[in-house]
Amino acid sequence: MPLVLPPGEFEAYLFDCDGTIVDSMPLHLEAWKAALAEWGCPFEAEQHYAWGGLPVTTIIATLNQQHGLSIPVEAAAERKESLYYEMLPQLRAVPEVLEQIELSHGKLPFAVVSGSTRESVTASLQVVGLLDRFDVLVCAGDYSRGKPDPEPFLLGAQRLGVAPERCLVFEDTEFGIQAATAAGMASVKVPQPWER
């Protein structure tokens, strides 16, 4: 089912990466479960999708608080990412978003605005053959406050040289939609895998 875009004359498209451009959320969930199991920490699908868009280190720190654990944040983040990279050959683009990229590439500037690391975003986009479509990548480490704060999207708009109100955001998570709205941007909600 094609995405329904809001009315308006947009001058740039800003895309979340995981779950929006690439159908990576199921692969990330497998990587999370395997990595966290090594520290005896449960991680459910509902939590994974609810926390979509949060930086990896934030997720681990929050799990430590919730479960009274002391998982080493950097080590667990690296382990989770390495497990995800092993599964990358299975990665595919989200068809409805790919259609919008194909329709508008070359007509509008594009940015990726992600809570994932630059390495993860770059690897994911390379696997699906879309890395060259994006003028700007805004990733974890480029900003101090992640989604639902508007900072990542505002940075993406600034780097593209487009006013926030002239940007359209493609997002699959509630945190992402909240961040886009707080940035003064229109948004399109990309359906989750089970909704497509």
Total residues found in the chain within this entry? 196
| pLDDT tens for each residue of 100-114 | 999 999 999 999 999
| CB contact at 8 A, 40 and 67 | no
Pick 12-24+92-195's CATH classification: 3.40.50.720, 3.10.580.10, 3.30.420.40, 3.40.50.1000.
Answer: 3.40.50.1000
pLDDT for position 196: 73
From the list 16, 18, 23, 172, the catalytic residue is: 16
Topology of the domain covering 25-89:
DNA polymerase; domain 1 (1.10.150)
**Residue 13 in tokens:** 């498209």
pLDDT value for 139? 96
Confidence of residue 192 (pLDDT cuts 50, 70, 90): confident
What pLDDT is attached to residue 1? Answer: 73
End-to-end CA distance of the chain: 7
User: Average model confidence (pLDDT) for the chain?
Assistant: 95
Decide if 16 is catalytic.
yes
Residue 193: the pLDDT is: 81
Name the band, by pLDDT with cuts 50, 70 and 90, for residue 37: very high
> Phi-psi bin for 158: left (phi > 0), alpha (psi -120 to 50), beta?
alpha
Structural domain spans, the chain: 12-24+92-195, 25-89
Q: Are 186 and 8 in contact (CB under 8 A)?
A: yes
Extract the tokens encoding 193. Answer: 């895998």
> Which tops the pLDDT comparison, 57 or 37?
37
Q: Is the dihedral of CA 58, 114, 195, 124 positive or negative?
A: negative
What was the pLDDT predicted at 131? 98
Percent of the chain surpassing pLDDT 90 = 89
For residue 177, give the 3-state DSSP assignment. helix
Work out the average pLDDT over 93-99.
Answer: 96
pLDDT class for 194, splitting at 50, 70, 90?
confident
The DSSP symbol for 133 reads G
Average pLDDT value for residue range 84-99 = 96
Stretch (H or E) spanning 109: none
Q: Rounded to the nearest 5°, which phi and psi values hold at 169?
A: -105, 135
